[in-house]
Structure 1
Amino acid sequence: MSELEQKGSAAKAASRALATRTAQEKNAALLYLADQLEDHAQLLLAANEKDLAAAKEKGTAETMLDRLRLTESRIIEIANGTRQVAALKDPVGEVTQMWQNEDNLTIGKKRVPLGAIGIIYESRPNVTVDAAALCFKAGNSVLLRGGSEAFHSNQALVKVIQAALVHQGFPASAVQLVEDTSRETARKMMKLNQYLDVLIPRGGAKLIQTVVQEATVPVIETGTGNCHIYVDEAADLEMAARILVNAKCSRPSVCNAAETLLVHEKVAARFLPMVEQALADFHVELRAEPQAATILSTYVAASEEDFYTEFLDYILAVKVVASLDEATSHINQYGTGHSEAIITNDYFASQQFQNEVDAAAVYVNASTRFTDGFAFGFGAEIGISTQKLHARGPMGLTELTSSKYIILGQGQIRE
């Protein structure tokens, strides 16, 4: 049996043990883990520095370095996120429906853990703890396969996690790290059906599509975020500019950052110069289609591919549209079903936009950056699901459970 199969087998066994542990036991372990993360901050930062140094040597862009970087404040945030997960209601064991059928059988529907979860993800070390905490709280074991760029950080984090769990009486195999970061091992993990119940990819479009196309383990597709801001003819333009700057520039390397600006032609001549000025301090490159280009003073001509692209950088595609219908059609064609926003004071336009745009999160007069488990009140999230089966949008504890039917009888047999 290979090391991967051994860890898969251990994860399966751990999932069965975790499914019967109480919320109080799991919460105590999470609170202890949060303290341990803060107590081991210097160890974690030292490991992270090795990853940052290697990434800088490779010429990694600053936006991607930001995804990789741990700081003392970020470790505190991660620890506080773990405490928030501990404070959330445990969904496991909740009976969501109960009824009696014609045979006088009492039938209930009960939440249960998914089981053993595999997560394949890239550079963000916070995912290691977020995923571990959420899966654990929902009664699941988790097998983590992070990217090579965050290897030292992930290794150190999982050691702290495992030590904390063992201290609280849980098996170390509840949270494991696949230390071989080769593509071949990742592909083998995608086919670990005998041990893994579900696979969740987190990262760029290429990673996610590889997992979706090659995995035989059931996949929950997450997170490519080609998100749009549409500025309607009835928009408050100053509000629109504030929202756009936040959606594009507050953290351009994350999946809920805006990548395309659509502007109604009736306000384009006033709004686009405002945009240009507001984004200048951040050195955002504007990739404009021909009509937008006639208004902007500095731009790069946009290709059609730009409107399909999740840049994850200080780059924004810009297009002028003739109507709300054109805006919604553009979003439904080019978007990834993640997060979309309309800026308008027209109630009917806002409702049409929310009804017609096909995405996990659809905003009126707010930044797409709010699509996040913390912001939605779920605690840490496992990812943003952009598919429609099982879960959609920020995936919190409830989305990491399945259900079983429990049936109570008094000797009934079926005729």
Structure 2
Amino acid sequence: MRILHTSDWHVGKVLKGQSRAEEHLAVLTQVVEIARAEQPDLVIVAGDLYDTAAPSPESTRLVTRALSALRRTGADVVVIGGNHDNGAALDALRPWSDAAGITLRGSVRENPAEHVIDGTTATGERWRLVALPFLSQRYAVRAIEMYDLTAAEATQTYADHLSRLLAKLTEGFGEPGVVNLVTAHLTVVGASQGGGEREAQTVLGYAVPANVFPTSTHYVALGHLHRAQTVIGPCPVRYSGSPLAIDFGEAENVPAVTVVEVSVGQAAKVREVPVTVATQLRTVRGDLAQLATLKTGDAWLRVFVRETPRAGLREEVQELLPRALEVRIDPDMVASTPGPRAEERAGRTPRELFAAYLDSRGVTDTGVRELFDEFYEEASA
């Protein structure tokens, strides 16, 4: 059977104030085009459909239309909730998804049968998929355990709970003649972050070892980390990565979806299909003269400017580079003099503290101090 594995769409993402709605429309259109060309038997969307737990109506419309279009290619479609999604809200869409022939699991349910999906391809090949949405540590580990355990113990407890949960859900993987699959939204120990994930939910208490997946699994389709990668484990374990760079930390990632060929008697063969239509994210450096000579095309830019900090510098950079979404002073240009200690800050006015901060950073432009005075007086009033 053939599987198209994708995840971490993050529809509704706003990058430094810039909407990416048009990019998401183009990206999901290309994902659907890839599905039409590849003709998969099964499409797995492994969580984080949205960038926020309260998506806009426009974001919801885009996601539901994309899922419907994937279903119309003739593939079965299975979708799980991620840490950015509102699991309960996704589950509320299940009457729609059931009517559309889409299997949607937004949150972990008490009934294990809810998370085991059986299917058959058009050629008669049987498959069984365990669908596990994101499970927060605060739900997996009871409050009393959290208070009594050290951080390391809580981490191990979370991994133990996930291991037992997956063991229960995969009990039926021993049946002969069935392709056994798992999809989940979590962090596996040893995997590399993509650069734009929510840090608190990708490390420590949220990471589990790859051996939570049984050796009888033919393929594990993961979401959560934005870099496409295969993880060493007892069975084929893979993140498809995000089909577009979510933030500037992901500029070096190759946006793609994963196509998998697998059968009962054949090991999973994996290949990436690039998604090429999203706007490029670039980080550039230089002084104003150097920035004025850059050819950046349509890329969204993060600029590290090599100039002495001064009022109005951001506006000067954006006049040269209108697609600069983030402008920072290059760290090499910032003085490393430490600021005043806590005992030195006591009893000083906000203006005095700000002036001391500017001195510690080597900022001599009086216009910055004047702007602070204006903002402070406005806020105080």
TM-score (norm 1): 0.30
Structure (1 or 2) with the greater strand fraction: 2
Q: Which has the higher contact order (CA 8 A, sep 6+)?
A: 1
Structure (1 or 2) with the greater helix fraction: 1
